[in-house]
């Protein structure tokens, strides 16, 4: 029986069912970082056009930008920018006719107060609306000891479960950097770019009985795009982790873990498909989507350069308002982002598989 869910933001059992549906049918959802209504709307448009459900997520920097760079209190900007973005998605997603997972991305040790503040906001939101503000939050303590990572993840998971939410954790280090969170490829032990299956088992043992969680397991993936040969992906690491958990707990499910592929931008399609076979249901592609938006805007500016220097064309006396109108060049960025996401939905196998009703 095929899964059908109401269009809009999914959470709790709906979210868990969607994750299981992705894994059972061997496809994954694109997770796209957003910074404003332009990028949010483009993501929802792309999902609607391609009949694909999608994950919309905010980093601390994206949330802060959404609130406005001029907001005096930067900590408040991270919190209320995320809240504002989430409310925007809640209001419009159902009208696009798609299912959206709302998520926050990369909270290392210094950003845990941001997650706690968002959970505070989520408690208030649920009291008023009967549903959580976000579907899930990420706790990225991969640079800490395994014990500290899992203990703090457990604390956040217990708070999240009370709101019918999930948590994403990271084991192993994803190289590169995103909004100040990450690691320089040249400064870390190469072995830490590959998650150890024993660590994944420890996470399962400590967290599984508490509530739903997903694991961003590292298999050589990095944030950003690097020249060929600089990054060696080993998706089989994910298979080893799944096998160890399944064997240790005598599970009939071959892929008991819900896995996340960070740093998916620029990855070979074969590696993407292999990772999906091993239980990946979510892939982050922030770098490629940023570049796509920039390409669209850049091309428009190149083709209409006079409009960005003059209000009236110096040679033809033509008024140029219809070109420098922000709705024109921002729309060009949106359209380019839609094209790039169409490629992503195709590679991930989610195109045409929306479960929204």
Kindly list the catalytic residues: 105
Under 8 Å between Cβ of 52 and 350:
yes
Find the angle CA(83)-CA(291)-CA(271) to the nearest 5 degrees: 95
**Separation CA 312–CA 323 (nearest Å):** 11
Q: Are 205 and 171 in contact (CB under 8 A)?
A: no
For the chain, what is the largest distance between any 2 Cα atoms, rounded to a whole number of angstroms?
Answer: 77
CA angle (307 as vertex; 302, 308 as ends), nearest 5? 75
- The token pair that represents 93 in the structure block: 């997603």
User: Positive or negative CA dihedral for 116, 166, 172, 290?
Assistant: negative
CA distance 285 to 288: 6
Place of tokens 């997972």: 101
Which residues lie below 8 Å from residue 203, measured CB to CB, with a gap of 6+? 150, 153, 169, 171, 213, 215
Q: Are 74 and 63 in contact (CB under 8 A)?
A: no
> Please, how many CA atoms are within 13 Å of residue 177, restricted to the half-sphere of its CB?
10
DSSP code of residue 193: G
Residue with tokens 């006396």: 317
Rounded to whole angstroms, the Cα distance separating 149 from 66 reads 29
- The span from the CA of 252 to the CA of 291, in Å, is 42
Instruction: List, in sequence order, every beta strand (DSSP E) within 226-318.
Output: 259-261, 280-284
Give the torsion sign (CA, 270, 275, 281, 282): negative
């Amino acid at each position: 029986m095929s899964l059908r869910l109401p269009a809009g933001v999914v959470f709790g059992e709906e979210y868990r069912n969607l994750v299981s549906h992705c894994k059972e049918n061997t496809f994954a959802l694109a997770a796209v970082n957003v910074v404003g209504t332009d990028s949010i709307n483009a993501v929802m448009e792309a999902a609607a056009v391609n009949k694909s459900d999608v994950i919309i997520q905010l980093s601390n920097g994206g949330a802060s930008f959404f609130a406005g760079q001029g907001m005096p209190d930067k900590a408040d900007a991270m919190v209320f920018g995320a809240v504002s973005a989430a409310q925007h998605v809640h209001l419009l997603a159902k009208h696009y006719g798609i299912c959206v997972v709302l998520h926050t991305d990369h909270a290392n040790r210094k950003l845990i107060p941001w997650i706690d503040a968002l959970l505070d906001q989520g408690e208030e939101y649920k009291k008023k609306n009967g549903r959580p503000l976000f579907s899930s939050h990420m706790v990225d303590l991969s640079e800490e000891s395994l014990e500290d990572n899992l203990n703090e993840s457990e604390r956040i998971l217990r708070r999240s479960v009370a709101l019918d939410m999930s948590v994403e954790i990271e084991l192993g280090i994803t190289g590169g950097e995103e909004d100040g969170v990450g690691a320089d490829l040249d400064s870390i032990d190469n072995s830490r770019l590959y998650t150890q299956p024993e660590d994944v088992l420890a996470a399962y043992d400590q967290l599984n009985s508490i509530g739903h969680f997903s694991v961003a397991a590292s298999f050589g993936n990095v944030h950003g795009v690097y020249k060929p040969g600089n990054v060696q992906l080993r998706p089989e690491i994910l298979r080893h982790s799944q096998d160890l958990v399944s064997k240790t707990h005598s599970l009939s499910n071959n892929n008991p873990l819900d896995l996340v592929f960070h740093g998916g931008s620029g990855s070979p399609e074969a590696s993407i498909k292999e990772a999906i076979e091993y239980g990946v249901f979510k892939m982050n592609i922030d770098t490629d989507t940023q570049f796509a938006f920039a390409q669209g805007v850049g091309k428009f500016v190149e083709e209409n350069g006079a409009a960005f220097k003059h209000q009236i064309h110096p040679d033809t006396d033509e008024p140029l308002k219809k070109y420098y109108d922000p709705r024109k060049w921002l729309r060009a960025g949106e359209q380019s982002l839609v094209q790039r996401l169409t490629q992503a939905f195709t590679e991930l196998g989610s195109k045409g598989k929306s479960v929204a009703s």
